[in-house]
């Protein structure tokens, strides 16, 4: 072999060796996940507000007469019993709106009193005997005003 070919082979081998050493040394760094930023939201409102726990364990503020989004809300504490409306799915990748009236918050399928997956405006009535109401992928639910036109009921 010529001297030029040997020089090129030596350069490639040295380059690989340097890369391997650098990679090995870099692997000894910290494997801790980056800290999750804490987000605090403060809002002033004349309406009554209570806290609810959504699926992530995060407390949400709930205005009287509305259900702001994803989560499980205790009837009589977090939300008032009554009839609520939503315009349907949030949009984007979310193609349907899931809701359920619950007799318990244990997570057992037998806790479901009634539920639905909808793709449009929906009205649901939560009874005073319901334990909770859960919703996923829906826009904000608002307490229905029967003086306005009402969409078809989902039960």
The per-residue b/e assignment along 96-134, b for 16 or more CB within 10 angstroms, e otherwise, is ebbbbbbeeeeeeeebebeeeebeeebbbebeeebbbbb
Q: State pTM to two decimals.
A: 0.55
**pLDDT tens-place values along the chain, 155 residues long:** 555 545 556 555 565 556 554 555 555 544 454 454 444 443 333 343 444 444 444 445 555 688 988 999 999 999 999 999 999 999 888 789 999 999 999 999 999 999 999 999 999 999 999 999 999 999 999 998 654 444 444 44
Listed by start position, the domains of the chain span: 49-143
């Amino acid at each position: 072999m010529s001297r030029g070919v040997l020089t090129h082979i030596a350069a490639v081998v040295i380059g690989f060796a340097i890369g391997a050493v650098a990679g090995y040394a870099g692997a000894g760094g910290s494997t801790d996940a980056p800290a999750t930023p804490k987000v605090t939201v403060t809002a002033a409102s004349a309406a009554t507000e209570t806290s609810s726990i959504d699926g992530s364990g995060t407390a949400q503020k709930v205005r009287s007469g509305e259900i702001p989004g994803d989560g499980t809300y205790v009837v009589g504490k977090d939300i008032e019993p009554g009839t609520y409306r939503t315009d349907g799915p949030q949009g984007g990748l979310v193609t349907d709106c899931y809701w359920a009236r619950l007799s318990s918050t244990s997570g057992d399928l037998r806790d479901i009193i009634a539920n639905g997956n909808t793709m449009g405006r929906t009205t649901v009535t939560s009874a005073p005997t319901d334990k909770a109401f859960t919703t996923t992928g829906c826009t904000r639910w608002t307490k229905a005003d029967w003086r306005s036109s009402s969409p078809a009921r989902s039960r």
